[in-house]
Amino acid sequence: MSGNELFYIDEDGDKQDESLHEDILNDLSDSAAQEIQVLAVKRGMSLGMTEQQARELYL
């Protein structure tokens, strides 16, 4: 996969996928969204971020 599978062209002619992500993420339950945030923070920390840096980025 190249990362170009799902996108749309915005009014400036640029590839975008934000609204596609929003449609997917808006269907998550609150508990699932919180679990994903916790996993994102843990992943950031595993990549060398402090907990504070990861929380600022992902929460």
pTM for the complete prediction? 0.56
Write down the pLDDT at residue 4. 54
Q: Mean pLDDT throughout 1-24?
A: 71
Distances (CA, A) of 43 to 10, 25, 33: 31, 19, 15
pLDDT in tens, 30-59: 888 889 899 999 999 999 999 999 999 988
More confident residue, 23 or 2: 23
Contact 6, 20 (CB under 8 A): yes
